[in-house]
Structure formats: structure tokens, C-alpha cells
Amino acid sequence: MNKVYIIKIGGHVLDDEPSLKKFLTDFAHIKAPKILVHGGGKLATRIGDQLGIQSHYVKGRRITDEQTLDLVTMVYGGLVNKQLVAQLQALQCNAIGVTGADGNLIRATKREVKGTDYGFVGDITPESVHSTFLYFLLKQNVVPVFAPLTHASGTMLNTNADTIASVLAIALSKHFEIRLLYCFEKAGVLRNVQDENSVISTLTKATYEKLLSENIFHDGILPKLENAFNAIQAGVKEVVIGEHKHLIANLGYETKGTLILP
């Protein structure tokens, strides 16, 4: 076992059945050891609305109160996660759905209150990852499917899926050659967010900082880029940001998305 793929999918593909089917079929075909990390999709918002759980935001960031924590634990850790696992099993991919609590795979620290109380949110570092157990699962040809949840002191915690993917990649990079793929609804990192043909094919740290100072990136891509560069600088060999429908192409060296370089 040498190369491990860590693939993160976001909400959009989860909300669209045919796209999800194609994505999972492609994912199941990857021969190398692999890990899937999923976000939430609109389902949590829809079910939350039905349950009368209101989302609270502070400075654009959602606050995870107790009700919201229950909601995301149900929807991300239960419904979304298990549906993905069942579908992958039908594609002969031996998936196991997990959160950070399962097998103590990712311990977190509940975010400290510094001015804003984000509620039940877990902060994690590469040291939070129980790599030994993850390695054992991969060795058994089992494919971990992570919901965006971690734990601390007996409670589940909400944790950003992009961060989970990056932290897993860094933790495993001590032992494996890791390619981390962020799959989303855009073709890659775009020079102009309106223009799908403006994919930046390779992005070094230097270029990234230059473009940052020019304010060309839109808000949605910034946390992904930050996670991507964190991973690259901490020893992850390759990071690609691209469209979920180009998964197979983005596994190779002629990617259709954006290849992040040190």
C-alpha cells in the first residue's frame, strides 16, 4: 500500500441523484486504497426547516446549537452517510461509514469561545487522527466514508468536511503518498468565477498569494484553497481541486482541474 486517495465531495453532487450515481460509480472503480469525505447537502436545511430548527449565523458562519447538532448528527452521520455506504456496497466497494467518534478516528477540541460561541463545533489537527486504525481499515480493503462530524468529551461535534479531508491527508502523509481531491461543482479554481473555462491548471503558493492580493478568488473557494495549501505544506504530495464529474481524469496527471503545488 503506497498511494492513498482522499476524496472530498460537497453538497451539490449529493443533491443530484444522476450526478451522485456517476460519481460513486467512478469512485468505486478506483483500485488504490481510498477514503471518501462528504459534506451535507441541502438535506439538513430541508429537514431542519421541517423540524422548525432555525439556523443562526454570526459573521456568515453557522452556529451549531444543540438542536442543530442533533440535526447534523442525524442527517450527515445517519441519512447521507448510510445512503452513500449502501450505494457503494451495491457497486462492490466495501465502504464503512464513520464519524470521528467511531473507532476514535478523529478526536476534536470543542471550539473555544473567543467573542463568538460557535456552539458544538470541533477543531481538529493532524494529531487528532487515529492513523493506526485507519491504516488497518485500508489494509482490509475497507473504504472509510467520513461524515463531517468529530467528537470530544462524550458529545458529537460539527466539523467542516474540507478540513477533515485535509487533516486526514496530512496525518496519512507520514506513511503514504497521498493525493487529496476536492470535488465540487466547478471545473477547478477559476480565474473568473463567471467563466468555467478560466480554470487555473496549476497553482503554486507564490501565485496563490499574488492572486489573493488581487482579490480574484470568490469567498466559496477560499477555505478550500487554505486547506489545500495547508495540506501541501504539511507533506501531502498532491492536491487537486476539480469537478466531481471529472473524478477519473483528476486522479491522473493530466487533470482537468487545478493542481496545487508547493
> Is residue 18 a contact point for a copy of itself (CB under 8 A)?
no
Place of cell 459534506: 39
Residue 222 C-beta: closest distance to a copy of itself, Å: 30
| Contact (CB, 8 A) for 131 and 144 | no
Question: Which range in 154-162, 208-216, 238-246, 253-261 contacts a copy of itself by CB under 8 A?
Answer: 154-162
Q: Which of 10, 40, 97, 126 binds a copy of itself (CB under 8 A)?
A: 97
| Contact (CB, 8 A) for 169 and 126 | no
CA distance 184 to 39: 10
**Nine-digit cell at 177?**
503518498
CA distance 41 to 116: 25
Q: Cα torsion at 13, 19, 23, 28 (round to 10°)?
A: 120
DSSP 8-state assignment for residue 16: -
Task: Report helix angle 222-233 to 205-213, nearest 10.
Answer: 150
> Is residue 58 a contact point for a copy of itself (CB under 8 A)?
no
Q: Which of 51, 58, 222, 248 binds a copy of itself (CB under 8 A)?
A: 51
Q: Which of 26, 102, 238, 243 binds a copy of itself (CB under 8 A)?
A: 102
Binding mask 73-92 for a copy of itself (x = CB under 8 A): xxxxxxx-xxx-xxx-xxx-
Q: Based on CB atoms, which residue is closest to a copy of itself, 107 or 246?
A: 107
Q: Say whether 4 sits in a helix, a strand or coil.
A: strand
Residues 197-256 that bind a copy of itself (CB under 8 A): none
In the chain, the N- to C-terminal Cα span, in Å, equals 24
Residue 51 C-beta: closest distance to a copy of itself, Å: 5
Q: Which of 2, 114, 153, 253 binds a copy of itself (CB under 8 A)?
A: 153
Binding mask 155-184 for a copy of itself (x = CB under 8 A): xx----------------------------
Question: Which range in 29-37, 72-80, 162-170, 247-255 contacts a copy of itself by CB under 8 A?
Answer: 72-80
Give residues with Cβ within 8 angstroms of 228, minimum separation 6: 166, 180, 182, 239, 241, 260
Closest C-alpha to 238, from 26, 4, 30: 4
> Is residue 64 a contact point for a copy of itself (CB under 8 A)?
no
Q: Say whether 96 sits in a helix, a strand or coil.
A: strand
Question: Which range in 44-52, 171-179, 183-191, 208-216 contacts a copy of itself by CB under 8 A?
Answer: 44-52
List of residues contacting a copy of itself (CB under 8 A): 47, 50-52, 70, 73-79, 81-83, 85-87, 89-91, 94-99, 101-104, 133, 136, 140, 142, 149, 151, 153-156
